[in-house]
């Protein structure tokens, strides 16, 4: 197949993310309300802050803002993780980061599938937080055996999708017609199914052991459990949600509100209670319900270096310890006080190497200076914050726990194993810090060359 006949991975990713958004809007009506609210908040932020609007335009962030989403799915067995990795690869999405949620009492470990190069991120930064059930963390041995038996006979990928994956591999891509079929078949992985694959008794036993266990094991597929738009002002959205009939959780996960946003802030509203049909022994359906899918919003800031992340982790732990048992305004105030020692201007963040920046020259040809700080201060060199494209383990676990809303979630499990996760995936996960560092260094080298500096 000629390369001109192939559709790019970026194009397929955009087709899929838009189809996913349309499907989820049909399945969860409040998601549509949320999109409208986020669009209004973003428009208000850009109108009120022309400098922010200009910075986002220069960094090619405006176009991706309306497209930007992240989703999340929970898989049950290594084979599912391995094949979903191939599915995301067709869309130019790679496994980045290892997340051990066991430390927060959630029996999964995870990675984020996302684009990794700057051009693809500007085109569409769609990402999916993908977790794998860790059955060894379920104490009831009989439930573990039953879960393995159920999952072994489950097939979440259609035969047509598997054929298209093979075609992609030997052709080196997909044609437009194949890509359209691929998107339709891939959507079936994430679609909601209102029938369980088990009896209500099996469901209740797993639900009582761990609600996430029931959600992963008892259904035909992993059904996407949230699809998250990006806002420029999460505090505005959080405050406005009740007026739209959406009740948000009491606190926003992640760092407090700042002049220079860092990393990731997330909030959510409680999962839907949805009708489900379970199996009876005589083959007739038994009505019941299940709580799984919820709404979520995120605000992204600058990516932090290892030094910045260490400071962030320290201050967050300090703030959360002081705010334990507090909610709402009191929690927010305590967290803001804890972060007062974290620099809140981009110049300091950059000079102290707490955050990553993308450099660009404002003019070309020889310059008198060759010192980076002098070049920035004289305006010959620009430094724009690099957006954090990943997830926070604490935030991820917090969102899981708050939406599972279960007293049966254990406070801690044993440590995860990145080696075991990568073996299930049949691929290594990339280190997000190395990706950010490479982006910063590449932009600096190219800028210095443009300025005539070796």
pLDDT in tens, 51-77: 888 888 877 777 777 777 889 999 999
The per-residue pLDDT for 416 is 62
The per-residue pLDDT for 408 is 40
Six token digits for residue 185: 């078949």
The per-residue pLDDT for 189 is 95
Q: What is the mean pLDDT of residues 116-124?
A: 91
∠ CA 100-21-118, nearest 5°, is: 65
Residue that the structure tokens 């954090």 belong to: 388
The per-residue pLDDT for 366 is 61
pLDDT in tens, 364-421: 656 666 788 888 888 889 999 999 999 987 554 454 455 444 434 444 455 668 999 9
Would you mind telling me the total number of residues written for the chain in this entry?
454
For the whole model, what pTM was predicted?
A: 0.89
Q: What is the mean pLDDT of residues 261-282?
A: 83
The per-residue pLDDT for 211 is 86
Lowest mean pLDDT among 70-84, 92-106, 281-295: 281-295
Q: How far apart are CA 255 and CA 237, in angstroms?
A: 16
- Beta carbons of 108 and 101 less than 8 angstroms apart: yes
- Beta carbons of 409 and 103 less than 8 angstroms apart: no
Q: How far apart are CA 32 and CA 46, in angstroms?
A: 21
The per-residue pLDDT for 292 is 74
pLDDT in tens, 316-349: 888 888 888 777 788 888 989 999 999 999 999 9
One CATH from 3.30.70.100, 3.40.50.620, 3.30.450.80, 3.10.180.80 for 3-256+263-299+393-416: 3.10.180.80
pLDDT cut 70: percent of the chain above it: 92
pLDDT in tens, 231-255: 999 999 988 888 888 888 778 888 9
pLDDT in tens, 13-34: 999 999 999 998 888 888 888 8
Q: Inform me whether the pLDDT recorded for 175 exceeds 90.
A: yes
Q: Where are the alpha helices (DSSP H) in 362-431?
A: 372-377, 393-404, 418-425
Q: How far apart are CA 338 and CA 201, in angstroms?
A: 47
- Beta carbons of 385 and 367 less than 8 angstroms apart: no
């Amino acid at each position: 197949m000629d390369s001109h006949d192939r559709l790019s991975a970026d194009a397929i990713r955009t087709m899929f993310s838009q189809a996913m958004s349309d499907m989820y809007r049909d399945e969860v009506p409040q998601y549509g309300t949320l999109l409208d609210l986020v669009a209004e908040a973003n428009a208000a932020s850009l109108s009120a802050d022309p400098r922010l609007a200009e910075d986002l335009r220069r960094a090619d962030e405006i176009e991706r803002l309306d497209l930007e989403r992240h989703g999340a799915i929970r898989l049950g067995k290594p084979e599912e993780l391995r094949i979903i990795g191939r599915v995301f690869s067709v869309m130019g999405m790679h496994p980045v980061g290892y997340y051990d949620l066991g430390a927060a009492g959630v029996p999964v470990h995870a990675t984020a599938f996302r684009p990794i190069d700057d051009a693809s991120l500007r085109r569409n930064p769609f990402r999916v937080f993908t977790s794998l059930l860790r059955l060894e963390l379920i104490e009831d041995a009989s439930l573990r055996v039953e879960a393995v038996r159920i999952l072994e006979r489950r097939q979440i990928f259609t035969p047509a999708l598997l054929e298209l994956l093979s075609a992609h591999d030997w052709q080196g891509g997909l044609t437009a017609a194949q890509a359209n079929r691929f998107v339709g078949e891939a959507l079936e992985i994430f679609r909601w199914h209102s029938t369980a694959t088990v009896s209500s008794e099996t469901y209740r036993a797993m639900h009582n052991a761990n609600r996430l266990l029931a959600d992963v094991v008892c259904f035909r597929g992993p059904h996407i459990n949230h699809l998250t738009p990006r806002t420029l002002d999460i505090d505005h959205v959080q405050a406005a949600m009740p007026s739209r009939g959406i009740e948000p959780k009491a606190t926003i996960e992640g760092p407090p509100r700042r002049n220079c946003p860092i990393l990731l802030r997330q909030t959510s509203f409680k999962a839907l209670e949805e009708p489900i049909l379970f199996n009876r022994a005589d083959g007739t359906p038994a009505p019941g319900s299940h709580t799984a899918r919820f709404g979520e919003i995120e605000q992204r800031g600058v990516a932090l270096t290892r030094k910045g992340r260490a400071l962030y982790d320290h201050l967050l732990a300090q703030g959360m310890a002081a705010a334990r048992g507090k909610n709402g305004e009191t929690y927010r105030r305590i967290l803001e006080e804890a972060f007062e020692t974290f620099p809140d201007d981009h110049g300091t963040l950059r000079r102290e190497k707490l955050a990553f920046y993308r450099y660009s020259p404002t003019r070309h040809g020889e310059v008198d200076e060759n010192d980076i700080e002098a070049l920035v201060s004289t305006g010959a060199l620009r430094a724009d914050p690099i957006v954090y494209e990943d997830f926070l383990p604490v935030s991820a676990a917090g969102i899981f726990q708050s939406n599972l809303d279960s007293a049966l979630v254990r406070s801690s499990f044993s440590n995860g194993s990145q080696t075991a996760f990568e073996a299930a995936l049949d691929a290594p996960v990339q280190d997000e810090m190395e990706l950010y560092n490479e982006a910063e260094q590449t932009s600096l080298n190219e800028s210095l060359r443009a300025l005539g500096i070796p």
